[in-house]
Amino acid sequence: MTEQSMPKVNAAFGAYPTIEFEGAAPQGLRVQELVEGDGPLVRKGDTVTVNYHGVVWGGEAPFDSSFDRHQPASFAIGVGQVIKGWDQSVPGHNVGSRLLVSIPPEYGYGSRGVPQAGIGGDDTLVFVVDIISTR
């Protein structure tokens, strides 16, 4: 898995994400661990609490960001409560990790996208995810 086409992101856990894009989005679901946490491992079926920042590939303004709301989000992971790209990329990483995830439409919102959020059907989504806790 090459990381040449992944965007550049500041790696400090908890820091407000800045994302710099170069070139076209990579094919398929990509996960890059920017910071390896030393907390408990996230497993499918766990309830995770995360801070996240999501932008459409090449965009600047986030379509959704818990960092902007100053309110982490909690949900069950790996069980279909969130988009497939999240369910397949967050489990297997430790609490305290910062992940950079590139999610193609088939792992995101599909060919319909989410027009009200500015997400087109062929948009690749990019998330910076800080894993705060798991239970």
Residue-wise pLDDT tens digits, 34-53:
999 999 999 999 999 999 99
The answer to whether residue 1 scores a pLDDT higher than 70 is no
13 lies in a domain?
Answer: no
With a pLDDT cut of 90, the percent of the chain lying above it is 96
Beta strands 98-103; 8-9: pairing state: unpaired
Identify the residue with better confidence: 117 or 2.
117
Q: How confident is the model at residue 4 (pLDDT cuts 50, 70, 90)?
A: low
Q: Which of 3-12, 29-38, 76-85 has the lowest mean pLDDT?
A: 3-12
Strand (E) or helix (H) holding 26? none
| Buried b / exposed e along 109-128 (16+ C-beta atoms within 10 A) | beeebbeeeebeeebbbbbb
Stated pTM of the model: 0.95
**Distance (Å, rounded) from C-alpha 66 to C-alpha 56?**
16
Q: Write down the pLDDT at residue 5.
A: 85
15 lies in a domain?
Answer: no
84 lies in a domain?
Answer: yes
71 lies in a domain?
Answer: yes
- What is the Cα Rg of the chain in Å? 14
Q: Into how many domains does the chain fold?
A: 1
Q: Write down the pLDDT at residue 46.
A: 98
Taking the chain, what is the end-to-end CA distance rounded to the nearest angstrom? 30
The answer to whether residue 2 scores a pLDDT higher than 60 is no
**Distance (Å, rounded) from C-alpha 23 to C-alpha 6?**
9
Q: Which of 2-16, 35-49, 77-91, 115-129 has the lowest mean pLDDT?
A: 2-16
CATH code: domain of residue 120: 3.10.50.40
113 lies in a domain?
Answer: yes
Instruction: Look at the alpha carbons of 50, 52, 57, 58 in this order and tell me if their dihedral is positive or negative.
Output: negative
Across residues 65-87, what is the average pLDDT?
98
19 lies in a domain?
Answer: no
100 lies in a domain?
Answer: yes
Find the domain containing 112 and state its range: 29-134
Beta carbons within 10 angstroms of residue 33's beta carbon: 15
Across residues 103-121, what is the average pLDDT?
97
99 lies in a domain?
Answer: yes
